[in-house]
Amino acid sequence: MTVHTILKMGDPRLLRVAQPVTEFDTDALHLLVRDMFDTMRAVNGAGLAAPQIGVDLQLVIFGSNARNPRYPDRPLVPPTVLLNPVITPLGDEEDEDWEGCLSVPGLRGKVPRWSRIRYTGRDPYGDPIDRTVDGFHARVVQHECDHLVGKLYPMRVRDFTQFGFTDVLFPDISANEDD
């Protein structure tokens, strides 16, 4: 089990555009995915993008079979490994909801996201993934994929009166369960 250090906002590596994964089903790729899941679980993440641990690849993981203490009221999202993702919005409807980020610890903001999306990409074996999702699942995918193009969620916040410290906005979430 390897838990990696998560880069924080301000680190220029978080602003890069990640490179596509070109080799699938390799020992190195499987080890990276395992380490990313270990890292995500260790910090109660809903997802994690490779750039957040300094790896310049189009690779995101998200989801869990257990409730996340950082998002206790959210529905479960199936554990997924997604490489070289493409997101297509299905309609113009957006939802605004609270987001946090492991790279932006201690803060939350209301972020607009497409309500319903289709995402495609590959799994670690190179097999295609093609899903249509909405709600929290769609939000998590969009958030994680933003990391692959150098975007952090505060860059999407439209109303900064809806942005602040998690412990002030959500006092019921204990500090050790948050970022």
Instruction: Give catalytic residue positions.
Output: 144
User: Of the candidates 48, 41, 107, 97, which has an alpha carbon nearest to the alpha carbon of residue 73?
Assistant: 97
Query: Are 129 and 121 in contact, with CB atoms under 8 Å apart?
Result: yes
Query: Are 66 and 7 in contact, with CB atoms under 8 Å apart?
Result: no
Amino acid at 89: P
What are the DSSP calls for 26-73, one per residue?
-HHHHHHHHHHHHHHHHTT-SEEEGGGGT--BSEEEE--SS--TTSTT
**3-class SS letters over 70-125:** CCCCCCCCCCEEEEEEEEEECCCCEEEEEEEECCEEEEEEEEEEECEEEEEEECCC
From residue 72, give the alpha-carbon distance in Å to each of 40, 129, 174. Answer: 16, 27, 12
